[in-house]
Amino acid sequence: MFHKLTPALVLALGLTGAAAVTALPALAQDGPLRIEITDGVTDPVAIAIPDFYGDSDLAGKIRQVVADDLTGTGLFREIARDAHVSSHDDFNDAVAYEEWRAINAQALVTADVSGQGEEINVKFRLFDIFAGQPLGDGMQFVARSGDWRRAAHKIADQIYSRLTGESAYFDSRVAFVQETGPKDARIKRIGVMDYDGANILWMTDSSSLVLAPQFSPDGKKIVYTSFESGFPQLQILDVASVSSRPLTQGGNSMAFSPVFSPDGRWIAFAQDNGVDTDLWLMDAATGTGRPLTKTHAIDTSPSFSPDGKRIVFESDRSGTQQLYVVPVEGGEPTRISFGEGRYGDPTWSPKGDMIAFTKQLGDRFHIAVMRSDGSEEKTLTDSFLDEGPTWAPNGRVIMFTRVTPGGNGQPRLHSVDISGRNMRPLELDSAASDPSWGPLLP
Partner 1 sequence: MKPYLLPLTLSVVMLAACAQQPPAQQVQDPYANLGNGALYQGDLASGSLPGEATAQYFSSQVGDTILFAANQTALNSEARAILNRQAEWLTKHQEFSAVVQGHAEETGTREYNLALGARRAGAVQEYLVANGVESGRIRTLSFGKERPAEVCSEESCYAKNRRAVTVVSASGVGS
Q: Does 344 bind partner 1 (CB under 8 A)?
A: yes
Q: From the list 22, 42, 241, 252, which residue makes contact with partner 1 (rule: CB under 8 A)? A: 252
Nearer to partner 1, 71 or 379 (CB): 379
Task: Please report whether residue 202 would count as binding partner 1 according to CB under 8 A.
Answer: no
Pairwise CA distance, residues 365 & 406, whole Å? 15
Can residue 247 be called a binding residue for partner 1 (CB under 8 A)? no
Q: Report the alpha-carbon angle 69-70-71, nearest 5.
A: 100
Taking the least distance from each CB to partner 1, the nearer of 67 and 403 is 403
- Residues 203, 205: Cα–Cα separation, whole Å: 7
Contact by Cβ (8 Å): 167, 394: yes
* 134 lies in the binding site for partner 1 (CB under 8 A): no
> Pick from 203, 219, 292: which is nearest to 262 by CA?
219
# chain residues binding partner 1, by CB under 8 A: 51
Among 15, 24, 46, 209, binds partner 1 (CB under 8 A): 209
Smallest separation, CB 434 to partner 1 (Å): 7
- Please tell me the distance from the alpha carbon of residue 192 to that of residue 144, in angstroms, as a whole number: 20
What x/- string results for residues 43 through 82 when contact with partner 1 is judged by CB under 8 A? ----------------------------------------
Strand partners for 281: 268, 290
Identify residues 423-442 at the interface with partner 1 (CB under 8 A).
433-434
Amino acid found at 232: P
CB neighbours of residue 118 within 10 Å: 9
Residue 300 · residue 270 · CB < 8 Å: yes
Interacting stretch for partner 1, rule CB under 8 A, among 135-143, 155-163, 275-283, 287-295?
A: 275-283
Element (H, E) at 440: strand 431-440
CB crowding 281-308: b at 16 or more within 10 Å, else e: bbebeeeebeebbeeebbbbbbbbbbee
Nearest to 388 by CA among 433, 342, 341: 433
Q: Does 256 bind partner 1 (CB under 8 A)?
A: yes
Could you tell me if 411 and 402 are in contact, meaning their C-beta atoms sit under 8 angstroms apart?
yes
Q: How far is the CB of 298 from partner 1 (least distance, A)?
A: 4
Stretch that binds partner 1, among 8-16, 31-39, 61-69, 295-303 (CB under 8 A): 295-303
Q: Which residues 377-416 are close enough to bind partner 1 by CB under 8 A?
A: 384-385, 387-388, 403, 405-407, 409
Q: Is the dihedral of CA 287, 289, 292, 294 positive or negative?
A: positive
338 binds partner 1 (CB under 8 A): no
Instruction: Check binding of 40 to partner 1 (CB under 8 A).
Output: no
- C-alpha span between 189 and 227 (Å, rounded): 12
**CB of residue 327 to partner 1, shortest distance in Å:** 22
CB of 109 to partner 1, least distance (A): 41
3-class state of residue 116 by DSSP: coil
Binding of partner 1 at residue 212 (CB under 8 A)? yes
- What residues line the site for partner 1 (CB under 8 A)? 181-187, 206-209, 211-212, 225, 227, 230-232, 250, 252, 254, 256-257, 270, 272, 274-277, 298, 300-301, 314, 316, 321, 344-345, 358, 360, 363, 384-385, 387-388, 403, 405-407, 409, 433-434
